[in-house]
């Protein structure tokens, strides 16, 4: 018997089916089931793809049991402490960290590409006041494909990079404009003298004309610690292998759609509160809980099988011990609390939830730990970023991951259209 195969026996008639086991450089190997239906006439049934690898990938590795996350082989802890977000973008896209010269050139290119086609502004005008920035972000990203239609057919590696750098550079501007629209304020254009992350905060906060004023309580100044915190959040969100939104990006990409339309679909998928929308829900929930005294009552609701209430920011499909990104952000929260006035009431409620949940049998048994969203919500609140911008910030960080995954799928000559089957139970 070939040791590198996997045998399935159909107990109805003892037919044996043998499938190759595919090697992995880290983590679980996979059984190549691609011929299963053709040979057996059966489908494999795996709702939510909990046991199914939809592709092979060289980009990001997660070990959920060990709480390990690596981009292109580099541990997230190293990237979050020794590098910045643009280094991480370069690493994901180019499969190597940039040299000094490459770093400067990449930074300048992104600054230069951060501006939006003027025609796109008209689209913003057509949205109602108070439109959620995520809706605008998704629509504007789709609309961007009309200005860069040529990216539908990419030929050289350089073509791919231009397309990718363009969307990474423009997404923060698209997001900042969406926010300005949602509060009825005039748009602030990017400032080429500012770095990627500082520029985003600037576009959110500046007054018309571009001045950042210092208010009596100091809110409008951009502090180094704020840039560092946001840059770390971008880094921690940059990629996360085949999560729901990335799977959507790959699926839409597999049909031959425009890359920016695929990214826009990823934005829509991310919005849900079971995915990227959780960071907004965490803060909503902390506000709903309202005071430390109410925490126990809400923990009981979360544990009640007859109550749909869930603790937002807890649990993860893959991380079953801890979320390494959450660990880094917890440390960042400590740093920030020394330098900024964190909302003490929210912090206390969050800390009480964390301490109860980490020692409660219900959460321990189900391996439910605080995830990245639990801490990012509190950190973004301390940066005075409005709640509706939390998920757009996730989008800014994740765009590089989506586009890198899209490129990998496009450059795989064996890639197929994503087309699962079903177990039909109807009439
Ligand atoms: N609060 C209370 N109970 C929970 C929670 C929670 N946050 N999460 C899971 N559970 C319980 C479920 O009720 C279930 O209990 P049961 O076995 O008694 O029925 C058990 O834990 C397993 O939960 P599933 O939903 O089957 O786990 P799954 O892996 O499918 O879901 C998910 C993961 C969606 C993240 C889930 O934990 C959740 O809804 N969390 C809250 C939302 C959230 O924080 N999302 C952000 C994820 S991170 C990210 O996208 C960046």
Percent over 90 (pLDDT), the chain: 80
Q: Is the pLDDT of residue 219 over 60?
A: no
The string of pLDDT tens digits covering residues 342-372 is 667 888 898 899 999 889 999 999 999 999 9
Strand ranges, E, within 37-86? 60-63, 68-71, 74-75
With beta carbons less than 8 A apart as the criterion, state whether 387 and 393 touch.
no
- Cα of 50 to ligand 1 centre, how many Å? 13
Annotated active-site residue 343? The verdict is no
Q: In degrees rounded to 5, what are phi and psi of residue 249?
A: -60, -45
Protein residue with its CA nearest to atom 4 in ligand 1: 310
Ligand 1, closest atom to CA 316? 35
Q: What is the pLDDT of residue 337?
A: 83
Question: With bands split at pLDDT 50, 70 and 90, how would you rate the model's confidence at 340?
Answer: confident
Protein residue with its CA nearest to atom 30 in ligand 1: 317
**pTM greater than 0.75:** yes
- How far apart are the C-alpha atoms of 276 and 134, rounded to whole Å? 11
Ligand 1, closest atom to CA 240? 51
The residue from 74, 316, 343, 360 that is catalytic is: 316
Ligand 1, closest atom to CA 244? 50
Q: Residues near ligand 1 with C-beta < 6 Å? A: 274-276, 278, 302, 310-317, 366, 368, 371-373
Sign of CA dihedral 168, 169, 173, 176: positive
- Cα of 314 to ligand 1 centre, how many Å? 7
- Cα of 330 to ligand 1 centre, how many Å? 20
Comparing 116-130, 218-232, 250-264, which segment has the lowest mean pLDDT? 218-232
Q: What is the pLDDT of residue 415?
A: 92
Ligand 1, closest atom to CA 374? 44
Annotated active-site residue 316? The verdict is yes
- How far apart are the C-alpha atoms of 267 and 249, rounded to whole Å? 9
Q: Ligand 1: which of 69, 315, 320, 350 to mutate, most ligand atoms within 8 Å of CB?
A: 315
The string of pLDDT tens digits covering residues 291-323 is 999 999 999 999 999 999 999 999 998 898 889
- How far apart are the C-alpha atoms of 220 and 204, rounded to whole Å? 10
Tokens linked to 337:
């609390």
Total residues belonging to the chain = 427
Q: Choose between 219 and 203: higher pLDDT.
A: 203
User: Which 3 state secondary structure label does DSSP give 171?
Assistant: helix
Protein residue with its CA nearest to atom 24 in ligand 1: 317
With beta carbons less than 8 A apart as the criterion, state whether 175 and 133 touch.
yes
With beta carbons less than 8 A apart as the criterion, state whether 262 and 141 touch.
no
Rg of the chain over Cα atoms, rounded to whole angstroms, equals: 23
- Cα of 285 to ligand 1 centre, how many Å? 15
The string of pLDDT tens digits covering residues 375-418 is 898 899 888 899 999 999 999 999 999 999 999 999 999 999 99
- Cα of 312 to ligand 1 centre, how many Å? 9
- How far apart are the C-alpha atoms of 353 and 290, rounded to whole Å? 12
- How far apart are the C-alpha atoms of 64 and 83, rounded to whole Å? 24
Sign of CA dihedral 229, 235, 241, 242: positive
Q: Is the pLDDT of residue 216 over 70?
A: no
Tokens linked to 258:
């425009």
Protein residue with its CA nearest to atom 26 in ligand 1: 317
Crossing angle for the helix pair 390-410 and 259-271, to the nearest 10 degrees: 140
Protein residue with its CA nearest to atom 49 in ligand 1: 275
- Cα of 316 to ligand 1 centre, how many Å? 6
- How far apart are the C-alpha atoms of 349 and 358, rounded to whole Å? 14
Q: What is the pLDDT of residue 83?
A: 98
Q: Provide the greatest CA pair distance for the chain.
A: 80
Ligand 1, closest atom to CA 315? 37
């Amino acid at each position: 018997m070939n040791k590198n195969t996997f045998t399935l026996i159909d107990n109805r008639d003892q037919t044996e089916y043998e499938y190759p086991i595919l090697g992995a450089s880290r983590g679980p190997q996979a059984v190549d089931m691609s011929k299963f239906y053709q040979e057996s006439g059966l489908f494999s049934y795996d709702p939510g793809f909990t046991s199914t690898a939809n592709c092979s990938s060289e980009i990001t590795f997660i070990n959920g049991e060990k709480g390990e996350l690596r981009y292109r082989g580099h541990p997230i802890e190293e990237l979050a402490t020794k590098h910045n977000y643009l280094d991480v973008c370069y690493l994901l896209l180019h499969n190597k960290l940039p040299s000094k010269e490459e770093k400067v050139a990449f930074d300048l290119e992104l600054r230069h590409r951060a501006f939006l086609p003027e025609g796109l502004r008209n689209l913003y005008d057509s949205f109602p006041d108070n439109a959620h920035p995520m809706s605008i972000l998704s629509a504007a990203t789709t609309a961007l494909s009309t200005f860069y239609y040529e990216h539908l057919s990419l030929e050289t590696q350089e073509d791919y990079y231009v397309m990718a750098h363009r969307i990474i550079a423009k997404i923060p501007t698209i997001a900042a404009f969406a926010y300005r629209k949602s509060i009825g304020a005039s748009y602030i254009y990017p400032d080429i003298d500012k770095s990627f992350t500082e520029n985003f905060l600037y576009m959110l906060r500046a007054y018309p004309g571009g001045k950042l004023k210092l208010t009596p309580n100091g809110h409008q100044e951009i502090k180094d610690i704020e840039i560092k915190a946001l840059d770390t959040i971008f880094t921690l969100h940059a990629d996360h292998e085949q999560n729901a939104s990335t799977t959507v990006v790959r699926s839409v990409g597999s049909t031959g759609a425009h890359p920016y339309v695929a990214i826009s679909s990823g934005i829509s998928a991310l919005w849900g509160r079971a995915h990227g929308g959780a960071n907004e829900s965490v803060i909503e929930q902390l506000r709903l809980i309202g005071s430390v005294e109410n925490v126990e009552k809400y923990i009981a609701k979360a544990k009640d099988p007859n109550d749909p209430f869930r603790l937002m920011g807890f649990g993860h499909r893959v991380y079953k011990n801890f979320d390494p990104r959450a660990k880094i952000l917890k440390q960042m929260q400590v740093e920030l609390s020394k330098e900024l006035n964190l909302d003490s009431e929210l912090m206390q409620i969050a800390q009480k939830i964390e301490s109860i949940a980490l020692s409660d049998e219900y959460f321990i048994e189900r391996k439910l730990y605080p995830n990245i969203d639990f801490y990012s919500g509190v950190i973004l609140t301390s940066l005075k970023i409005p709640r509706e911008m939390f998920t757009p910030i996730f989008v800014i960080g994740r765009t590089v991951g989506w586009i890198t995954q899209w490129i990998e799928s496009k450059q795989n000559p064996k890639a197929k259209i994503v087309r699962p089957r079903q177990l039909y139970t109807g009439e």
